[in-house]
A and B are shown apart, each in its own frame.
Chain A
Amino acid sequence: MTEHAIVVEGLRKRFGKVAALDGVDLEVPRGEVFGLLGPNGAGKTTTVRILATILRPDEGRAAVLGYDVVRDAAAVRRRIGLAGQSAAVDENLTGGENLRMTGVLGQRPIAEVKQRASDLLERFDLTAAGDRPLRTYSGGMRRRLDVAAALMARPPVLFLDEPTTGLDISSREELWDMIRELVAEGTTVLLTTQYLEEADRLASRIAVVDGGKVIANDTPQRLKAQLGSTVIQMDVRGDGRAEQAAQALSDLRDGRVEREGQTLRITSDRGALVLIEVLGDLSSKGLEPDTLTVREPSIDDVFLTLTGRHAEEVTPDRGADSRPRRWRR
């Protein structure tokens, strides 16, 4: 038995001219949520599809619970569940029928399948809808059923590919609770997401991926410590005034200042205090911001800090072609 549930070494995958994965290394400890964070086209979905034996890598190797995803694909398939944007359910079947089909095709005995389908419908709050065709389901119900289907064979390793994209806030919170319960019961979860908050709330470790590479791999606490918990963003318009403002703030004690054109971005762990200090320093130099926003760090801020560019400048790979871009400055 390996100590890690998932091991990925030097994984590369090209689609035509685009390198979707350009040498990815990962180690996912057992019994934890591991977050794969990145924009569309970063390589998250490609990684999950290789791990779920749907795609073959061009180079490198990957193993799930010690089984190689290419050579021992059949053994891997008996140990994983897959849900999210790349998995799906049958529109014409009812919720219960979908679960039954996934259980039978997951090679579980029929008695176990029936019991488990009714348990999971209850657990995911779908008992009342269990006899209705999927066509009548809301987006949130569909997503819950998709996750339930992935759990039919009680997989020790679960892949959740952007499971909450497009869900409303309460459905998202519900799904997060379920993921926490799963992990408490011993499941290893590999979660991909575009939302820093989601990775932060669920994962014990986060790998930030960009352009097919892992550009950071750390605990959420340490990743955020690099950033600060608050971002103050302001525009100072006028000839050279933003530069003067950056100068005025250069010896700010608890915050870090970056300037891009006439926009200043200050990241800090002590937001309120720093805000007072910033405004004081500026007004003492006769400067004032034209716009001012105080917010939590976004994925874009993580990117700006890690890569020096905005997330939306990332070239999309094939995995992103059918989905809308979700981040805007």
Chain B
Amino acid sequence: MSTPVIAARDSTDRDQRIPFGPLRDSFELTRRDLIAYLRTPQLLIFSTVQPVIFVLLFRYTFGGAVKLPGFHYGYVDYLMPGIFVQTVTFGSINTAIGMATDLKSGLTERFRALPMSRWAVLVGRTSADLLRNIFVVILMLVVGYIVGWRLHSDLLSLVGAMLLVLLFGYVLSWLFATVGLAVRDPESAQAASFPVIAPLVFASGAFVPVGGMPDWLRAFANHQPVSLTASAVRALLVGGPATSDVWNAVGWDLGILVVFAPLAVWLYRRST
């Protein structure tokens, strides 16, 4: 504790900009969030074990009971696209919890007093969630393969389907970042996210066909983004006609992003 390192420097070079500053800020925060995922076992478990259990449970319980009119493959081929979408949907709760945790701990205040990009915290967080989703989706492909899921189209369609899943997860990150910034408390963030997510995931065609639902519910299930994304992914993986489902899903994604990215940034700026 002897080296005189603390002296304030004269402020001549303080206004020099670091090249690609906002990008560098975002990278740094992505890195930070990834380190946090790796060091928080309960987060990793929540985002990996839980979807594996869903696969095993649905595959072997619903598998024998569900009738799939007009679908010419086994239940596992119907189920897995739904599992991919469900996995990134549930995973996006982490975005809400993460944003709320930073607000509560006071870290957000520190960020706001630093000369960094206002977008970087959100871009960093959603990018880290995207990377985590890539990992989880690959894991689900492996698990799916083990329980009998097979690709019935081509590699290009598989890549397209996975990109669609990841895009959906990414735009949901912005939606749930907004939720986290609005409720400002990790427990409330979790509590507030579930009622949004549960109907989207379960009142959908993700796990079972919507044909058995009452009319009013079927109308919702047919048009909401989890169903449409699952349906587009399913069509791509079995090589059926996919174009209209894909565009519907992408339309939802862009709509969510256009509404919630500015809203999240606006909430972040005024969060004190």
The number of chain B residues with a CB under 8 A from chain A is: 37
Contact B3 A54 (CB under 8 A): no
Interface-side segment among A181-189, A202-210, A241-249, A300-308:
A181-189
For the complex, what is the distance from the CA of A124 to the CA of B105, rounded to whole Å? Answer: 22
Contact B6 A123 (CB under 8 A): yes
For the complex, what is the distance from the CA of A107 to the CA of B9, rounded to whole Å? Answer: 15
| With A75-B15, A92-B39, A93-B32: A107-B115 Cβ-Cβ less than 8 Å | yes
Q: How many A residues touch the partner, as a band?
A: 35 or more
Please, which residues of chain A bring their CB within 8 A of the CB of B32? 90, 93, 97, 101
For the complex, what is the distance from the CA of A291 to the CA of B25, rounded to whole Å? Answer: 62
Please, which residues of chain A bring their CB within 8 A of the CB of B61? none
| With A88-B105, A101-B28: A54-B272 Cβ-Cβ less than 8 Å | yes
Q: Does B45 contact A (CB under 8 A)?
A: no
Contact B113 A52 (CB under 8 A): yes
For the complex, what is the distance from the CA of A75 to the CA of B15, rounded to whole Å? Answer: 7
Partner of B105, one of A74, A91, A108, A133: A91
Of B4, B14, B106, the most chain A CB neighbours within 10 A belong to B14
Contact A182 B6 (CB under 8 A): yes
* Binary A-proximity of B105-124 (CB < 8 A = 1, otherwise 0): 11101111111100010000
Q: Does A7 contact B (CB under 8 A)?
A: no
Contact B28 A104 (CB under 8 A): yes
Q: Does A224 contact B (CB under 8 A)?
A: no
* Binary A-proximity of B163-175 (CB < 8 A = 1, otherwise 0): 0000000000000
A-B contact count (CB 8 A): 121
Q: How far is the CB of B208 from chain A (nearest CB, A)?
A: 39
Please, which residues of chain B bring their CB within 8 A of the CB of A116? 5
Q: Does B24 contact A (CB under 8 A)?
A: yes
Q: Which residue of A lies closest to B33 (CB)?
A: A92
Contact B106 A87 (CB under 8 A): yes
Q: Which residue of A lies closest to B18 (CB)?
A: A107
Contact A106 B114 (CB under 8 A): yes
Please, which residues of chain A bring their CB within 8 A of the CB of B8? 154-156, 185-188
- A interface residues, Cβ below 8 angstroms from B: 49, 52-55, 65, 74-75, 77-80, 82, 85-93, 97, 101-102, 104-109, 116, 119-120, 122-125, 133, 149, 151, 154-156, 178, 181-182, 185-188
Q: A82-B110, A124-B1, A156-B11 are in contact. List 11 more A-B contacts (CB 8 A).
A: A54-B113, A77-B114, A93-B36, A105-B120, A106-B114, A120-B5, A122-B3, A123-B1, A154-B6, A185-B7, A186-B8
User: What 5 pairs between A and B have smallest CB-CB spacing?
Assistant: A88-B106, A185-B7, A92-B36, A77-B115, A156-B8
